[in-house]
Structure formats: C-alpha cells, structure tokens
Amino acid sequence: MAKARKTDSLLFLHKRLSAHYGPLGWWPGETPFEVMVGAVLTQNTAWTNVEKAIANLKAERALSLEAIDQMPHGKLARLLRPSGYFRVKARRLKNLVRAVREKFGSLPRMFKTPTNELRAWLLSVNGVGKETADSILCYAAEHPVFVVDAYTRRIYSRHGFLPPEADYDELQEFSLERLPRDLATYNEFHAQIVNVGKDFCRTKPKCEGCPLKPFLTPAQRRKLSTAQ
C-alpha cells in the first residue's frame, strides 16, 4: 500500500466544507431506483447530462426495473444519449436491472442483503465497478459505505494525504480509518468532495476562495500555484 500522511485532518476538512456548503442532501433522486440509475449513468459525464437522460426515462414512464428490462436496447440507448457512451450505459443498465430481478425480485429485498455480500454481488454484475457499486450501496440502499471518485484522489493527493497513484481501495481505506463510521458522514463528505472538486479543485486548480486552501502547506501552495 502507498504510504499515507499520518493525520486525522479529514474531519477538519469535513467541518470546513460543512461550514462552506451547508447541508447538501446528495444524491439527487426521487426514488432509490432513480438513484441507482444515476449511479450507472454518471460515469464519465457531468451530472447535468445524467439529469437529461433520467428526464427522458421519466417522460417514457420507463423508470422502473420492469420497464428498463423489457425495453429494446436501441430505444433505451436513444433515451440515454445525453449521458454519453449511451450504448455502453444502456447495456450496463440492462445487465444490472436484469440481474436484480433474477436475484432479488425487488429493490427492497436487494437492499436488505448484508453490506459485504451485496457489494460483492454488485461487483459481479458485468459493467458495475467499485464507484458505481458503492454509490448504489450508500445512496440508494443506505448502507454505510464511503464512495471514492476522481475528486477524492485529486484532493487527497494535493493535500498530501496519499500519492496520486493511490488506488480505489487505498483511498477508501484511508477515509474509513479517519471518519466516523456512519452513513450520514459518508454521504455528506462525499457530496462535499464532489462540490469542492467541481468548484475549485479542478484539473487546473483554482485555489483562491477554496475553503480547503488553509489546509495546504506552504510547499503545496507553491506547487499548485505553478499549475494555475
């Protein structure tokens, strides 16, 4: 495992971001199934594009396990076009809903499965990766799982917690060791990371005004200033 900085300051970051953003109430979605669909569609695209694709499904009254399972792949792909990689995402979404129906029959029954067992099963479904599985667990099924994404890696790296090459499991383990083990904290902190990543910690950093700037060391500030 990559060497991590010995610190418990994730909680300080969480508190600072709470003061800056207030309650975020992430993940947007009217039902657990809508959240699950969003977790599949959000890969490699902006959330605004996902919202357009979900709106298309709602307009077709197709936001259900049965409707998506029975819909022809071509039609589903057209509805998902705004989300990008729409043919691949249509196939992945159909794989997931078919697997859920065959294994569990319904979402409530699926969500009652123990966390580790359900995570292993989700990862066995073709096209479901760790971020998607954990997003479904945390935000749709309400299991205490911390979600890691590209923003997490970027922020942890720039603040010296872990090196840029740290993998998903290392980032997740680092977070779990330093945060209270409860769903509300995992939910809110991940939402905060997404927001500060979009607003400030971009590929080209925008440190002025960032609520996390005070947590940078002088050396980290100098390094990031050359990248701006």
Mean pLDDT value across residues 193-212: 95
In whole angstroms, give the CA distance from residue 138 to residue 36: 10
Q: How far is CA 139 from CA 5, 13, 143, 162, 225, in A?
A: 29, 21, 8, 26, 35
Q: How crowded is residue 59: how many other Cβ atoms within 10 Å of its Cβ?
A: 10
Mean pLDDT of the chain: 94
pLDDT tens for 65-85 read 999 999 999 999 999 999 999
- For residue 128, the model assigns a pLDDT of 97
pLDDT of 1: 44
Nearest one of 149, 139, 192 to 11, comparing CA atoms:
192
